[in-house]
Amino acid sequence: MKPFSELLDRLLYAPARTSKLALLEDYFRTVPDPDRGFGLAAIAGTLSLRVAKSGVIRELVAERTDPELFHWSYDFVGDLAETAALMWPEHQADRDWPHLSEVVVAMDELPRGQLTKQIAAWLDTLDATGRWALLKLATGSLRVGASAGLARAALARYGKVEPALVEEAWHATAPPYLDLFAWLDGRMPRPEIAHAPVFRPLMLAYPLDDEQAQRLDLAEYSAEWKWDGIRVQVVAVRGQVRLYSRTGDDVGPAFPEVVERVRFEGVLDGELLVARGGEVASFNDLQQRLNRKAVTPAMLQDYPALVRLYDILFDGEEDLRGLPFLERRERLEAFVARERPEGMDLSPLIPDSGLDELDRMRRSAREGGTVEGLMLKRKDSLYVPGRPKGLWWKWKRDAHLVDCVLMYAQRGHGKRSSFYSDYTFGAWQDGPDGEELVPVGKAYAGYTDEELKLLDRWIRDHTIERFGPVRAVEPRLVFEVAFDSIHPSSRHKSGVAMRFPRIARIRWDKPAAEADRLATLIDLMA
């Protein structure tokens, strides 16, 4: 447990990706099996544990500390695990720290009552950093600035192999990844993937700006719409079917009808959308089905899923990734004509056009609300994992910009846990007592570290109410907010929800009364 807690602590404060990769690589090299595999799974989010409820942790801390002091401390720190770890009384333990594998097995197997006592006993054994790591693991709130993708990149560095090989082998193994490490250590061959429904790393596109577009030879590129859904990979091998997101997460349980309708063998690349009667719905409709472990019959009926196909990686067992894009497109069209996959269709190619016409189409994409812009793909491009520059471009529609007023601020996670870094902002509307603000979005990106410090200080100085880790502030500070699109939402008081909102500018100079009204956002939605 000690090496794992030290790793988490260092990852949290590591300043750059290269530093995080080095820390992970060192962990894999120095920690034995199965602890290193369980640590990898915890960081990558593939460790399935029965988590302890936050109320249980609060009760444990209340038994050992002053409840009022804990309440005020938690309100200031904003993170349960960090507060509990710092306040837990130090003990002179008679035994060594538990191994990470011991903790994982106990959390999985012990009855709930015994597990609570065991957590308390572990907390007595550990130091503050160990307690923090244990509580993060136990409550399922492990956010330390590392992701599954970063962990797999570190595995590739550790084993001195191509990242794409790790990506494929990853889905053929499971925690604690004994076979995966045995391969990377040179003790056995790579885990067998030929007949397993494994994820293949996707080919991604670079953003294209207007200046770069002017320099492209459009004769070398095919154009198609960039649909506003989520990128998926459909994998069907010997009766086994998986639906993967762009990060390699299996999203099949949230879209069982897509998986159940597959009758072919192969690997297809496309966009997951909601469509009714052949008409694609907005991303807001798709969002009703995302991140669900199970869906109701009503969900299946009201938000029917469609996969719009872009590319084909495997036709049966034949690997097509080494073919140029136009040849793969011909194979995809032949595949769809032959297999007639239910609940899937082809994303149409746009006839060859000049730059001005493509630009007009890109800008008009906003009118339908179901596409984000255009994709430009070199006709001779092979299907290459990652983001090779110059082969695929995404030319997105311009962002909307509106001025909104900061209403609430919440502490962030990880290294931002001491700062108010998550912001809810609103627009004006007429209320029963005059003009009032209604929340229209939330953002936690778009500002610099220096701006974050200024914002944090401003929020502390202008707080009017506290709600645990959230503060309501005086309605005085204006943000210029950029967002891709806006949709109706029954879950928000304003009736609207922004897509990808981010802070474009902090308008220290602008009076709050001059910020935009809700009617302006509704007009944009219309």
Summarize pLDDT for 26-71 with one digit per residue, the tens.
Answer: 999 999 999 999 999 999 888 888 777 888 888 888 888 888 888 8
Looking at residue 389, the DSSP 8-state letter turns out to be T
pLDDT band at 248 (very low <50, low <70, confident <90, very high): confident
pLDDT in tens, 433-466: 888 999 999 998 888 888 999 999 999 989 998 8
Longest dimension (CA), the chain: 76
Enumerate the CATH 2.40.50.140 domain ranges in the chain, comma separated: 400-525
Q: How far apart are CA 200 and CA 96, in angstroms?
A: 42
> Is there a contact between 74 and 411 (Cβ–Cβ < 8 Å)?
no
Q: Which amino acid is at 254?
A: A
- Structure confidence at residue 73 as a pLDDT band (50, 70, 90): confident
Residue 60 identity (one-letter amino acid): L
Rounded CA-CA distance 237/410 in Å is: 45
The pLDDT value given to residue 399 = 80
- The average confidence (pLDDT) of the chain is 88
Annotated catalytic residues are 226
Q: For residue 398, give Cα distances in angstroms to 156, 225, 320, 401, 454.
A: 37, 15, 34, 9, 29
Spatial CB neighbours of 233, under 8 Å, sequence gap ≥ 6: 199, 200, 202, 243, 244, 246, 267, 268, 269, 270, 313
**pLDDT exceeds 70 at position 424:** yes
> How far is Cα 80 from Cα 72, in angstroms, rounded to an integer?
12
When mean pLDDT is compared over 74-88, 195-209, 321-335, 364-378, the highest value belongs to 321-335
HEC profile of 285-314: HHHCCCCCCCCCHHHHHHCCEEEEEEEEEE
CATH fold for the domain made of 206-396? D-amino Acid Aminotransferase; Chain A, domain 1 (3.30.470)
Predicted pLDDT at 486: 83
The average pLDDT across 415-429 equals 86
| Stronger pLDDT, 344 or 416, i.e. the higher one | 344
What is the structure's pLDDT at 423? 94
Lowest mean pLDDT among 257-266, 301-310, 327-336, 501-510: 501-510
CATH superfamily, domain at 400-525: Nucleic acid-binding proteins (2.40.50.140)
- By DSSP bridging, strand 420-431 and strand 434-443 are antiparallel
Reply yes or no on whether the pLDDT at 526 is more than 80. no
Q: Which range (96-105, 177-186, 304-313, 482-491) has the least confidence?
A: 482-491
For 477, what's the count of Cα atoms within 13 Å in the CB-facing half-sphere? 25
Most confident residue range from 236-240, 431-435, 509-513: 236-240
Whether residue 99 is predicted with pLDDT greater than 60 in this model: the reply is yes
Which pLDDT belongs to residue 366? Answer: 56
The dihedrals phi and psi of 222, each to the nearest 5 degrees, come to -105, 145
Q: Return residue ranges of the chain for CATH 3.30.470.30.
A: 206-396
Instruction: Please check the confidence at residue 324 and state whether its pLDDT lies above 90.
Output: yes
What is the C-alpha separation between 144 and 219, in angstroms, rounded? Answer: 46
pLDDT score for 414: 64
At residue 386, the pLDDT reads 85
Please report the pLDDT score of residue 72 as a whole number.
81
pLDDT at 420 over 70: yes
